[in-house]
Chain A
Amino acid sequence: MNAIETRGLGKRYRRTWAVRDCDLTVPAGQVTALAGPNGAGKTTLLRILAGLTAPTAGTATVLGAAPGSPQARATVSAIDQTVPLYRHLRVAGQLAAARALNDQWDTELAVQRLSALGIATSARVGKLSGGQQAQLALTMALARRPRLLLLDEPLASLDPLARQDVLGWLMTCVAEDGLSVVFSSHIIAELEQIASYLVVLSAGRIQMAATVDSLLDTHLALTGPADGVDDLYHQVEIVTAQRAGRQALVLARTGAAPPGWAGRPVTMEELVLGYLREPAARVVPGLGVKIVR
Chain B
Amino acid sequence: MTAMTVQRMTRATWYKHRFSMVGIPAVFLLPALALFADSVVQRHYLSVHHLNGCLVANADTGGSSCMSGAWVSFTQPSPAPNVIAVAILALPVLAGLFAGVPWVAREFESGAFRFTWTQGTSPRRWLLGTFGPLVLLAAVTAGIYGAAAYWWYQIAQWQDGTSIWSWRSSSFELTPLSIAGWTVLAMALALLCGVLIRRVLPAMIAFIVTLGPCVYLSQTWLRPWLFGIGTTVRQVGTSAGWPSGTTTYTVQTWLQTPGGQRVSSWPAVSNVSAWLAQHHDTSWVAYQPHNHLIWLELARNGILITAAAFAVLASVWWLRIHPAD
Distance in Å from the Cβ of A215 to the closest Cβ of chain B?
Answer: 30
Is residue B50 contacting chain A, with contact meaning CB distance below 8 A? no
A70 to B18, CA, bound (A): 27
| A contact residues around B323 at 8 Å (CB) | 51-54, 68
* A:79-99 near B, CB below 8 Å: 79-80, 82, 84-89, 93-94, 96-98
A201 to B18, CA, bound (A): 42
| B contact residues around A52 at 8 Å (CB) | 114, 117-118, 323-324
A65 to B321, CA, bound (A): 19
Q: Pick from A100-108, A263-271, A281-289 the stretch touching chain B.
A: A100-108
Is residue B58 contacting chain A, with contact meaning CB distance below 8 A? no
Given the known inter-chain contacts A80-B111, A86-B112, please indicate yes or no for A73 contacting B12, CB distance below 8 A.
no
Q: Pick the contact of A103 from B9, B120, B122 — CB < 8 Å? A: B120
CB of B112 within 8 A of CB of A84, answer yes
CB of A73 within 8 A of CB of B114, answer no
Question: A150's closest neighbor in chain B, by CB?
Answer: B118
Q: Pick the contact of B121 from A50, A78, A101, A141 — CB < 8 Å? A: A101
Is residue B290 contacting chain A, with contact meaning CB distance below 8 A? no
Distance in Å from the Cβ of B127 to the closest Cβ of chain A?
Answer: 14
Is residue A47 contacting chain B, with contact meaning CB distance below 8 A? yes
A140 to B16, CA, bound (A): 15
CB of B12 within 8 A of CB of A97, answer yes
Is residue A74 contacting chain B, with contact meaning CB distance below 8 A? yes
Is residue B11 contacting chain A, with contact meaning CB distance below 8 A? yes
A93 to B112, CA, bound (A): 14
Is residue A240 contacting chain B, with contact meaning CB distance below 8 A? no
Given the known inter-chain contacts A100-B15, A101-B121, please indicate yes or no for A82 contacting B325, CB distance below 8 A.
no
* B:1-46 near A, CB below 8 Å: 8-9, 11-12, 15-16, 18-19
Distance in Å from the Cβ of B103 to the closest Cβ of chain A?
Answer: 13
Q: Pick the contact of A82 from B15, B114, B121 — CB < 8 Å? A: B114
Q: Pick the contact of B325 from A53, A73, A88 — CB < 8 Å? A: A53
CB of B114 within 8 A of CB of A13, answer no
Is residue B113 contacting chain A, with contact meaning CB distance below 8 A? yes
Question: B121's closest neighbor in chain A, by CB?
Answer: A101
CB of B111 within 8 A of CB of A98, answer no
A68 to B121, CA, bound (A): 9
| B contact residues around A141 at 8 Å (CB) | 118
Given the known inter-chain contacts A84-B113, A85-B112, A89-B16, please indicate yes or no for A102 contacting B11, CB distance below 8 A.
no
A266 to B12, CA, bound (A): 50
A96 to B114, CA, bound (A): 17
Given the known inter-chain contacts A84-B113, A85-B112, please indicate yes or no for A97 contacting B16, CB distance below 8 A.
yes
A13 to B324, CA, bound (A): 12
CB of A70 within 8 A of CB of B121, answer no
| B contact residues around A102 at 8 Å (CB) | 119-120
| A contact residues around B112 at 8 Å (CB) | 84-87
Is residue B221 contacting chain A, with contact meaning CB distance below 8 A? no
Is residue A253 contacting chain B, with contact meaning CB distance below 8 A? no
| A contact residues around B115 at 8 Å (CB) | 84-86, 98, 137
A144 to B121, CA, bound (A): 12
Question: A47's closest neighbor in chain B, by CB?
Answer: B324
A141 to B121, CA, bound (A): 13
| A contact residues around B16 at 8 Å (CB) | 86, 89, 97
* A:153-177 near B, CB below 8 Å: none
Given the known inter-chain contacts A100-B15, A101-B12, please indicate yes or no for A79 contacting B118, CB distance below 8 A.
yes
A103 to B18, CA, bound (A): 22
A54 to B18, CA, bound (A): 31
Is residue B171 contacting chain A, with contact meaning CB distance below 8 A? no
Those 4 A-B pairs whose CB atoms lie nearest each other, nearest first:
A84-B114, A97-B15, A100-B12, A84-B115
Pull 10 A–B residue pairs with CB atoms less than 8 Å apart, ordered by A: A47-B324, A53-B325, A74-B120, A82-B114, A84-B111, A85-B115, A94-B15, A97-B15, A97-B16, A102-B120
* Interface residues of A, Cβ cutoff 8 Å to B: 13, 47, 50-54, 68, 70, 73-74, 76-80, 82, 84-89, 93-94, 96-98, 100-104, 137, 140-141, 144
* Interface residues of B, Cβ cutoff 8 Å to A: 8-9, 11-12, 15-16, 18-19, 110-123, 321-325
Besides A79-B118, A80-B111, A137-B115, 9 more A-B contacts (Cβ < 8 Å) are A47-B324, A50-B117, A77-B118, A80-B118, A85-B112, A86-B16, A100-B12, A101-B116, A144-B120
